[in-house]
Amino acid sequence: MPNKNLALLTYGCQMNEYDSEKIGGILQGEGYQLTDNLEEAQLILVNTCCIREKAEQKFYSQLGRLAGLKKKNPSLAIGVGGCIAQREGKRIFERAPQVDLVFGTQNISRLPELLRQLRQGKGKVADVAQVKGEFVSPHIRRESTVKAWVTIMQGCNNFCSFCVVPYTRGPERSVPGEMILDEIRGLARQGYKEVTLLGQNVNAYGKDLVDEGAFPGLLSRVDDLDGIERIRFTTSHPKDLSEELMGAMARLAKVCEHIHLPVQAGSDSVLDRMNRRYTAGEYRAKIARLRALLPSIGISTDVIVGFPGESQEDYARTRELIEEVEYDSLFLFKYSARPETVAATLSDQVPEEVKQERFEEILALQKGITLRKNQELEGKRVEVLVEGASKKDPAKLTGRTRTHKIVNFRGPEGLVGHLVELEVIQGKLYSLEGRLALKEPR
Ligand code: SAH
Ligand code: SF4
Ligand code: F3S
């Protein structure tokens, strides 16, 4: 009998990481064992991302390496899921004949059936059908025992002109509130302390459901559940960040003081051509309101440099906005033209050297801001949910503050899964160093 070793390779955003937890859980239920060693796998599944061209190139060069493994082990099966699979469907077989199975972003629960078809030896198998209402899977193999992701909506209707997600994840579908609460109650029973509610645009939650209230209502229902100590959510679209939601963040004790609020650019004409549907002024006003309600809030963002037609002036507006807002952290991207998107058809594409220059400048600017803000925390006390041993230094424990900053510190392993109070002893660029301030964990 052939072994059932499964290697699962995951790229892209939290959506994909969460989908991989579902894939791992479902296939474990089918008798597969997860392995990190590609050489001993009988099945390799790649969960792909195509948000930028580089991600896609990486995938195709990796497929080359997988073809080599298949030469050595002809019974190896290779499957491709995620966003490239959703977009390309069966075309992947033409480009990469070593691939046996293609499954889309909404067909994960059909994997056992698709694998059975594959084993029956009738040739290659593909399913990228858009399925309405495929939400929860009973088996999820979660990476952490302390914090968990919970999908509250799938897809996106925003069609930002640069973005492929609406094409790879389909239209917005909200998960019914009771299903979400059931999943979180189950997590609480298993001892999870933190949940992150996931969606491409969580602020639009519930708009497509008849009986469901809006996102602030959902947050308050989650806040009422016993056992869960911290609630996060991502991603928020600035245009849908309502006064009501900001009020709920301030009011609900378990909702952490952190928001990821992608601004993308600081110039109104660029924002308009990106189809973001807010101005830089409106964005600034929301940041000011958040800080008035929650003075210690951690704010992170995404910025794209080199969007088509971004002039030196436009770029200067982005830089000003970053200097003014002083983000705690910033994810910076060079614009990458994606097939099917409107922005890819715009003339006036920005040359690579200019993108690179702007990229390096903003990176340096933000490094200064992040480091300064982290150093300002030295001597302060922070609450940290202990997640486990630090990857970099296994002698230390690691966790995050409510504002989403990583803190590493020395302490007994028994603290994993508990909230502890730490004193920050050093602010660094990507993390803080702390020491236990109180003996008793909560
Ligand atoms: N739904 C989320 C995440 C989208 S993808 C949101 O709306 O924020 C994460 C980030 O990737 C985006 O915020 C954007 O900054 C970046 N991104 C998306 N498409 C891109 C492209 N074509 N080129 C460069 N960066 C891109
Ligand atoms: Fe993409 Fe915009 Fe939707 Fe985010 S909101 S997933 S950037 S289209
Ligand atoms: Fe990538 Fe798909 Fe996420 S394109 S960023 S994995 S939604």
**Residue 321 falls inside a structural domain:** yes
Report the CATH number at residue 349: 3.30.750.200
Residues 302 and 242 in one domain: no
**Torsion-angle region of 391 (φ positive above 0: left; ψ -120 to 50: alpha; else: beta):** alpha
Region 7-30: mean pLDDT is: 94
Q: Would you say residue 20 has pLDDT above 70?
A: yes
Alpha-carbon distance of 330 to 245, in angstroms, equals 22
Torsion from C-alpha of 225, 18, 336, 431, nearest 10 degrees = 70
Out of 31-35, 88-92, 130-134, 350-354, which region has the weakest mean confidence (pLDDT)? 130-134
Pocket test for ligand 1, best of 304, 342, 346 (most atoms within 8 A of CB): 304
The predicted structure's pLDDT at residue 210: 73
Q: Which residues contact 64 (CB under 8 A, 6 or more apart)?
A: none
Burial class (CB in 10 A: 0-12, 13-18, 19+), 193: buried
**Residue 327 falls inside a structural domain:** yes
Over residues 345-367, the pLDDT tens digits come to 998 999 999 999 999 999 999 99
Region 219-246: mean pLDDT is: 96
At 377, the amino acid letter reads L
Ligand 3 within 6 A of CB of 154: no
Ligand at shortest distance from the CA of 82: 3
Residues 19 and 65 in one domain: yes
Going from the C-alpha of 167 to that of each of 11, 135, 226, 274, the distances in angstroms are: 18, 19, 38, 16
Judged by DSSP in three states, 15 sits in helix
**Residue 409 falls inside a structural domain:** yes
Last residue within a domain, chosen from 60, 95, 127: 127
Alpha-carbon distance of 67 to 74, in angstroms, equals 10
Residues 315 and 388 in one domain: no
The predicted structure's pLDDT at residue 133: 60
Ligand 2 within 6 A of CB of 146: no
Judged by DSSP in three states, 230 sits in strand
The predicted structure's pLDDT at residue 439: 61
**Residue 337 falls inside a structural domain:** yes
Is the separation of the CB atoms in 117 and 82 below 8 Å? no
Distance 400 CA to ligand 3 centre (A): 24
**Residue 268 falls inside a structural domain:** no
Chain centroid to CA 181: how far? 21
Judged by DSSP in three states, 333 sits in strand
Residues 101 and 155 in one domain: no
Out of 66-70, 310-314, 317-321, which region has the weakest mean confidence (pLDDT)? 66-70
Over residues 136-147, the pLDDT tens digits come to 566 788 889 999
Last residue within a domain, chosen from 256, 271, 294: 256
Residues 88 and 114 in one domain: yes
Residues 67 and 156 in one domain: no
Nearest CA owner, ligand 1 atom 1? 200
Q: Determine the Cα angle at 168 with ends 164 and 171, to 5°.
A: 100
Alpha-carbon distance of 408 to 434, in angstroms, equals 6
Residues 16 and 31 in one domain: yes
At 410, the amino acid letter reads R
Residues 155 and 248 in one domain: yes
Nearest CA owner, ligand 2 atom 5? 158
Looking at the chain, the whole-number percentage of residues with pLDDT higher than 70 is 97
Range of the domain at 232: 144-256
Distance 11 CA to ligand 3 centre (A): 8
Ligand 3 within 6 A of CB of 13: yes
Ligand 1 within 6 A of CB of 66: no
Ligand 2 within 6 A of CB of 341: no
Closest by Cα among 306, 308, 300, 328 to 318: 306
Report the CATH number at residue 184: 3.30.750.210
**Residue 237 falls inside a structural domain:** yes
Last residue within a domain, chosen from 335, 355, 376: 376
**Residue 32 falls inside a structural domain:** yes
State the chain's mean pLDDT as an integer: 94
Over residues 381-437, the pLDDT tens digits come to 999 999 999 998 999 999 999 999 999 999 999 999 999 999 999 999 999 999 998
Alpha-carbon distance of 407 to 302, in angstroms, equals 22
Residues 70 and 179 in one domain: no
Distance 163 CA to ligand 1 centre (A): 6
**Residue 398 falls inside a structural domain:** yes
Residues 361 and 422 in one domain: no
Distance 205 CA to ligand 3 centre (A): 19
Total domains present in the chain: 4
Alpha-carbon distance of 10 to 293, in angstroms, equals 37
Q: Please spell the DSSP secondary structure of 141-196, one letter per residue.
A: --S-SSEEEEE-EE------TT--HHHHH-S-EEPPHHHHHHHHHHHHHTT--EEE
Own/partner long-range contacts of 269-274 (Cβ < 8 Å, ≥24 apart): 269/309, 269/314, 270/307, 270/309, 270/310, 270/314, 270/317, 270/318, 273/161, 273/307, 273/308, 273/309, 273/343, 273/346, 274/160, 274/161, 274/162, 274/304, 274/307, 274/343
Q: Would you say residue 209 has pLDDT above 90?
A: no
Is the separation of the CB atoms in 363 and 334 below 8 Å? no
Alpha-carbon distance of 402 to 384, in angstroms, equals 7
The predicted structure's pLDDT at residue 208: 87
Is the separation of the CB atoms in 264 and 274 below 8 Å? yes
Residues 109 and 15 in one domain: yes
Looking at the chain, the whole-number percentage of residues with pLDDT higher than 90 is 90
Residues 303 and 417 in one domain: no
Region 197-224: mean pLDDT is: 91
Question: Which ligand 3 atom sits nearest the alpha carbon of residue 164?
Answer: 4
